[in-house]
Amino acid sequence: MKKRLQQFAIIALTLTGFLSLNSCGDDITELHEHYYEDPSTYWDIVFLTVGDSSSGEKYKWKWNSDIHKYYCVIPVSEISEKAYDYGAILAYTFYGKYDEDETQHQLRHYANNGAIIDYDISYDMEQTICFYYYWDDYMNTTPPPTFNFKVVLLSPGKLN
């Protein structure tokens, strides 16, 4: 009886392993290949820098005491209705020096100092992106340093 149970367990495990490896791998692979190779998917990348008050950057952080956040609103003409309604608009920030020790972080990001870096996209009145820098407790008002951002726009069909 014990030997039959062992044989049954071995057969059951073998069958389960075989079925789990072959159940949906091909379908998922084909879906991803089609998605990334689709010539009607367009993308654009915009690099932006938001500086502190002493920097020479075009865009600077501003303090909003009503919401207890630093913010910076930047017009981005590349934001299209298709990307906003049917695509994706992703934002990233960078730490370190380019080609040396640089790391990229997708926003909403929790910085090492406890601050939160976030963003909003607006398409209604103007095509803008607003970056935010704040703390969970909303008590800390230390000004943010200069940040470099990358905005990636994906759209089904041409962006504009």
Instruction: Find the radius of gyration of the CA atoms of the chain.
Output: 24
Name residue 67's beta-bridge partners.
Answer: none
Q: What sections of 62-157 are H helices per DSSP?
A: 81-86
- Per-residue pLDDT, averaged over 133-143, amounts to 86
For residue 83, the 8-state DSSP code is H
Cα–Cα dist 67/69, whole Å: 6
pLDDT at 133 over 60: yes
Euclidean distance between CA atoms 43 and 16, whole angstroms: 41
Q: Comparing 9-23, 57-71, 75-89, 116-130, which segment has the lowest mean pLDDT?
A: 9-23
Res. 47: pLDDT tops 70: yes
- pLDDT (average), residues 53-57: 82
Torsion 153-155-157-160 (CA) sign:
negative
38-42, 98-102, 134-138: segment of lowest average pLDDT: 38-42
Whole-model pTM?
A: 0.71
- pLDDT of 84 higher than 70: yes
The phi, psi pair for 106, rounded to 5°, reads: -75, 140
- Asked if residue 148 lies in contact with residue 81, where contact means CB atoms within 8 angstroms, the answer is no
pLDDT of residue 148: 92
pLDDT at residue 54, as a whole number: 82
9-23, 57-71, 106-120: which range is least confident on average?
A: 9-23
pLDDT of 3: 65
Q: Decide: 50 and 57 in contact? Cβ < 8 Å.
A: yes
Bridge partner list, 94: 104
